[in-house]
Structure 1
Amino acid sequence: MATVRPIVFGPQLSARLTEGATREWLVPDGTGGYAMGTVSGLRTRRYHGLLVVAGRTPAVRNLALASLDPVLTLPSGATVRLGVHQWADGAVAPDGNRLLTSFALIDGVPRWRWRIGDVVIEREVAAAAGRPSVAVVHRLVAGGPIEISLEALCTWRDAHGERTAGGPPPQVTPTADGCEVEGAYRLSGPGFAPSGEWFRGVRYRAEAERGLPQTEDLWYAGSFRSALANPGEAVEVSAWAGDLDDPPPPAAKTVSAARMRNRAVVAAAEPADETQAALVLAADAFVVRTGTGPDVVAGYPWFGSWSRDTMIGYEGLFLCTGRAETGRELLRAYAGTLSRGMLANTADTGSVEYNTADGTLWFLHAIGRHVTETGDDDLAAELLPALRDVVSHHLGGTRYGIRTDPADGLIRQGSAGEALTWMDARVAGVPVTARAGKPVEINALWVNALATVLDLAARTGTPPGAAEAAYPAAREGFSRRFPTPSGLLHDVVDGPNGDDATLRPNQLLAWSLPHAPLRPDRAALRRIGAELVTPLGLRSLAPAEPGYRGKHRGEPAERDSAYHTGTVWPWLTGPYVTAWHRLGVPVDDVLADIDGHLGEHGLGSISETADGDAPHQATGCPFQAWSVAEHLRARKL
């Protein structure tokens, strides 16, 4: 059984901001909160911090403890600051990154080592699983004696926003072993000395690149102080939210427990190789438990739960990682959100919407895969009435113009100002790729959903309902309407301007789903490979097509305009590999491309997107659920 290979960087990368500050680590807490930062220690995003606390849903988070900066006093009396900050004027001070000898991510636990002459200091960060907390341990590895002070820079604000000195400072109340901030979280450690000072103009370079507010002010609440005389001695600090009277275990125990837990998570999935082991551990970050049960965080640091992402990623996140029972619980809970034949979609505000044409169909796909892989006919019998209702509403019509066309059995969708497929970006309220009409992947999913209902009905000996007549009509309509003379498929038929043969990757689902309506065409797959495949995934639009954008960068409107018009999406590697697999053609080289990416952006994970143009620099969320899930699934074919 394979284990996760440590990711290790020496001083030539970790000590240099141009390299170290573009590689990010993540420590999830299992509730949707996290600790996150960069290899160099520089906070480059407003989302970076040691304690980011999830609220009622994972979509609603608050930044609490921004940083805990080490300040060393050496035997000579010299003072050395190991923190790293950039300021509004561009200056970087202090620049403790210069003293880093290494950064390592071992079993999901990040570790930094600094050398100052004969003194070596090590830091490790971990979370107590299942609660909003962080443990930070600084250990003397060599040299000494030294004194260490850990300066706590605090705030309490929405993770998407900023807080400045123009308003009142955070309310800090001393406790017996630390302090309480805003009545929302506590810090605990040795020798706490209160302070009270604004650190003004902290700059976030990644937000500047994204055209978003780039500075804020942080409150220096105080410092934890300790003497470390001998190698092996450590100073431990914990921070936690939730029940403030219930502290987590001591920080060193939390670090040890996190490492052991992560090893167990990987072992339970029995990975075949080191890359698969790394993806299993990466998947663990996205499966969380909230007050209402299990859920999936679509991506870190800014996404919450989205039903489409959850259901696309279901097989990889749950069935490929030994979490079938947790997955069963999630599917039953999501079934309870069905309304008028549509699955609820939780927005990043925490509100519930019904605004996808495909999320519900992916839900039926997830149920089908669960039952097929686990043999859970009891779940099939329980959910079949709801699934038959989904079919009936899609046949008769539901929200946003979603209904079946009796002329060809295919699903039509579209509503003014809405983008209902996965290509859902909007600029100034206007969809960039509305794709009104009959999109190819929606109808591939529709055929797959109808076949799934028939299969589940047969397994449980119950009537399939309207799916029995709808399935052959939809399959015949698909086979008649979508193919083009070249062997490729239309991206949309019956759109506002007729049939659209724009070369996009959506047609892959017509060949890759379990009940795909068509058998893959070799020539078509070769054309898609030549035009769309990159080392990180598939482009969302072929470069030769009008409107192609090769860079996913700039201000929000620029990025959203490029989001589905050329930007690369790693999750699409799954359908591409599966389509070739159905022809018996291995494409292991495509899957192998991701190996190097695991150490160059979101460490140990796969990014949301990448530039369409070479060298395909990663963009979007550094840690994305369906990117990881589809690579896991495809590796198990």
Structure 2
Amino acid sequence: MRRIAFGSQVCGRLEEGAAREWLVADGLGGYAMGTVSGLRTRRYHGLLVVAGATPAQRHLGLVSLDPVVTLASGAVVRLGTHEWADGAVVPRGYALLSGFELVDGLPRWRWRVGDVVLERELAMAHGAGGLAVVHRLLTGGPVSLRLEVLCTWRDVHGERTAGGPAPVVEEVDGGCVVEGAYRLRGPEFRGAGEWFRGVRHREEAARGLTPTEDLWYAGSFQTHLRQAGAIAAVSAWAGELAEVPEPAEDVVAAARTRNRAVVAAAAPADDAQATLALAADAFVVRTPAGPDVVAGYPWFGAWSRDTMISYEGLFLATGRESLGRSLLRGYAATLSRGMLANTADTGRVEYNTVDGTLWFLHAVGRHVALTGDTDLAAELLPALRSVVDAHLAGTRFGIGVDPADGLLRAGAEGAALTWMDARVDGVPVTPRTGKPVEVNALWVNGLAMVIKLAWQARTNAGAATRAHPAALASFARRFPAGGGLLHDVVDGPGGDGLRPNQLLAWSLPYAPLRPEPAALQTIGAALMTPLGPRSLAPGSPGYRGSHRGTPAERDSAYHSGTVWPWLTGAYVTAWARLGVSAEQTLSDADGHLGEYGLGSVSETADGDAPHGATGCPFQAWSVAEALRARRPTKP
């Protein structure tokens, strides 16, 4: 994998270290997450974030373990880092960091205090939801080490303050249980009980959200590290609290071994692919309902559109075909009136996308094409034919085929049905009512997929056989806009400005059109950045080059100029259709692996240079499309 490491010149500068985030996922939707510097900049940062019934229903438990070292001289050195409501940063343990690196995807810090070097490593027990933190004395000593436990128990999206009841902490053998929800175990626990008031999260302040909360100091773990190699280990876990987990150092070693196996299963061609393969692992989770995909960390849960766009990269490019098969079968069971459920983050079933179901057709087709699993094709064909029938007849939100031209239209008051789904005060920013270009490219592609799958299964494709020629011919007649470019929407309130959605009309396996070099050059010149295409060309009405500020400001910019890395895959594939390599486009983004969400790819970036990353630091479809685009394409 690509080495991601920083020395004291990054770690010891708060603005540098706090801008780089690490993530360790537990395979269930929970995680540990923070920054290189150790400063918690988001309400979502913590060492034990526990997933609930769905990946989106998360709670923050263990917030931090602040190391306090007492040297042989008697000097006390605090290695934690916190920012407070008045802007003060105290203590400033980041200034003593000599280095940080990801080792097989796991974070490792080293602090130096004179001749004393203390190392911290952490890992999650994959599939079990537990945390292991190991501190090791590398040089110097003897020293005394105190690990101060700051905790809470709250919804990951909210805050908890001293205005409410304090967390209930019960001391048990080897540690404590907090709120009856999770347990901590380590050396010689000494209870305390005090509010740390006014802890500030600078990223939440920048996002226009409540920036402060109060944390509960539950107590501390105490030990002596007498010589080099001595360790102090702490475990934290939810679930069955009576069970004692594996020793923390064994959990770390097992996590490293597993991560190396994950990378090997993907058979990467280079260190960038290897890094992306491990990044992909964080998004694939097991839930009570079966395998699923977390759209992005730290705040997203499972979204069907994101899952299906990500499917080929997350499952087929990483050796997870069997798990992917289960996922596709599970999602097929949610079909209703020809639409795939989009549970989003509400915890309830919703059917509110025009393209999620079409991406599902695409995912099934890619699975069969790349695995030869014709049994799955035969099993799912009745469901896929029902999707076609429902779209021909018409379904929710005005989604249905226009009998005049065979193209798919969609739209309803207040609804944002395409992937450009941002709304401000309930009003869609880019409603795209009518016949969007990528939706109809997906419709043509999906019909062709159904026909191909039926042929492979030696059965009837149903209405797709008749619908495909009409849709294909109408697409070729209605969408061209001159110069090889395509309209973004037809038969709807249009908008001036160049958008990247047309890339899918040229890049899908059964794309309705072949790109013209001049059109791709025009798109590249106007939209491409080092992290991917902008969602709207600069100079267009409504263009916003900064994806910052309050929720309303960010949502207004979300699809109005903001860069979306996931669309790089379509851009690269469109060029490949012309026999032109876009390897440089992919390698341009490789430096991003060490810039924001370490070892991963962000959700979005500013449209204006220098294109600072925004949104989720770790985004499924951004990683998945980067992986897919790097692998040979099979029709």
Matched, 1:635 2:619: no
Give the equivalent residue in structure 1 for 2:563: 568
Matched, 1:332 2:366: no
Q: Which of 268, 279, 300 is equivalent to 1:303?
A: 300
Matched, 1:484 2:471: no
Matched, 1:189 2:189: no
The alpha-carbon distance between structure 1 residues 504 and 552, as it changes in their structure 2 partners (threshold 3 A), is same
Q: Which of 282, 285, 289 is equivalent to 2:286?
A: 289
1:581-596 correspondence runs (5 A) = 581-596=576-591
Matched, 1:443 2:440: yes
Q: Which of 618, 621, 624 is equivalent to 1:623?
A: 618
Distance 2:593 2:476 in 1: 39
Matched, 1:106 2:99: no
Distance 2:562 2:347 in 1: 27
Tell me whether 239-248 or 401-410 shows the greater mean CA deviation.
239-248
Give the equivalent residue in structure 2 for 1:315: 312
SS where residue 373 of structure 1 aligns?
helix
SS where residue 127 of structure 1 aligns?
strand
Q: Which of 117, 121, 139 is equivalent to 1:120?
A: 117
- 1:338-386 CA deviation, whole Å, 9 max, x = no partner? 0000000012122210000000000000000000000000000000000
Give the equivalent residue in structure 2 for 1:513: 508
How far has the Cα of 1:501 moved from its partner?
A: 5.7
Q: Which of 217, 226, 232 is equivalent to 2:223?
A: 226
Give the equivalent residue in structure 2 for 1:380: 377
Contact 1:493 1:500 in 2 (8 A): no
- 1:552-588 CA deviation, whole Å, 9 max, x = no partner? 0000000000000000000000000000000000011
1:92-171 correspondence runs (5 A) = 92-171=89-168
Letter of the 1:34 counterpart: Y
Give structure 2 stretches of 5+ with no counterpart.
none
Distance 2:13 2:133 in 1: 23
- 1:247-293 CA deviation, whole Å, 9 max, x = no partner? 32111111111111100100111100000000000000000111111
How far has the Cα of 1:544 moved from its partner?
A: 2.0
Contact 1:6 1:107 in 2 (8 A): no
Distance 1:192 1:76 in 2: 24
Give the equivalent residue in structure 1 for 2:17: 20
SS where residue 303 of structure 1 aligns?
coil
SS where residue 125 of structure 2 aligns?
coil
Matched, 1:474 2:466: no
SS where residue 313 of structure 1 aligns?
helix
SS where residue 339 of structure 1 aligns?
coil
Matched, 1:607 2:613: no
Q: Which of 249, 270, 275 is equivalent to 2:272?
A: 275
After superposing on structure 2, the runs of 4+ consecutive aligned residues of structure 1 that deviate more than 6 Å are none
Percent identity of paired positions between Structure 1 and Structure 2: 72
Distance 1:501 1:167 in 2: 51
Distance 1:341 1:614 in 2: 42
Give structure 1 stretches of 5+ with no counterpart.
none
Contact 2:394 2:400 in 1 (8 A): yes
Distance 1:91 1:500 in 2: 47
- 1:200-259 CA deviation, whole Å, 9 max, x = no partner? 000000000000000000000010000000100100000000111223211111111111
Letter of the 1:555 counterpart: T
How many residues are treated as equivalent by the alignment? 632
Letter of the 1:88 counterpart: A
Per the normalisation by structure 2, the TM-score is 0.99
Matched, 1:50 2:47: yes
How far has the Cα of 1:335 moved from its partner?
A: 0.3
- 1:375-413 CA deviation, whole Å, 9 max, x = no partner? 000000000000000000000000000000011100000
Distance 1:229 1:58 in 2: 42
Contact 1:492 1:501 in 2 (8 A): no
Letter of the 1:186 counterpart: R
Distance 2:495 2:574 in 1: 22
Letter of the 1:306 counterpart: W
Give the equivalent residue in structure 2 for 1:537: 532
SS where residue 491 of structure 2 aligns?
strand
How far has the Cα of 1:595 moved from its partner?
A: 1.0
Q: Which of 27, 35, 40 is equivalent to 1:38?
A: 35
Letter of the 1:598 counterpart: L
Distance 2:563 2:510 in 1: 26
SS where residue 484 of structure 1 aligns?
strand
Matched, 1:503 2:498: yes
Contact 2:424 2:555 in 1 (8 A): yes
Distance 1:456 1:612 in 2: 40
- 1:290-321 CA deviation, whole Å, 9 max, x = no partner? 11111000000000000000000000000000
Distance 1:60 1:296 in 2: 14
Contact 2:316 2:367 in 1 (8 A): yes
Distance 1:13 1:398 in 2: 54
Letter of the 2:28 counterpart: T
Letter of the 1:525 counterpart: L
1:394-413 correspondence runs (5 A) = 394-413=391-410
Distance 2:226 2:346 in 1: 49
Contact 1:491 1:501 in 2 (8 A): no
How far has the Cα of 1:193 moved from its partner?
A: 0.3
SS where residue 131 of structure 2 aligns?
strand
Contact 1:53 1:64 in 2 (8 A): yes
Contact 2:141 2:226 in 1 (8 A): yes
SS where residue 195 of structure 1 aligns?
strand
How far has the Cα of 1:33 moved from its partner?
A: 0.2
Distance 1:482 1:602 in 2: 38
Letter of the 1:584 counterpart: G
Letter of the 2:563 counterpart: V
1:411-426 correspondence runs (5 A) = 411-426=408-423
Distance 1:483 1:246 in 2: 64
Matched, 1:90 2:87: yes
How far has the Cα of 1:500 moved from its partner?
A: 4.8
Matched, 1:353 2:363: no
Letter of the 1:205 counterpart: R
Give the equivalent residue in structure 2 for 1:522: 517
Contact 2:304 2:344 in 1 (8 A): no
1:423-438 correspondence runs (5 A) = 423-438=420-435
Q: Which of 366, 371, 383 is equivalent to 1:369?
A: 366
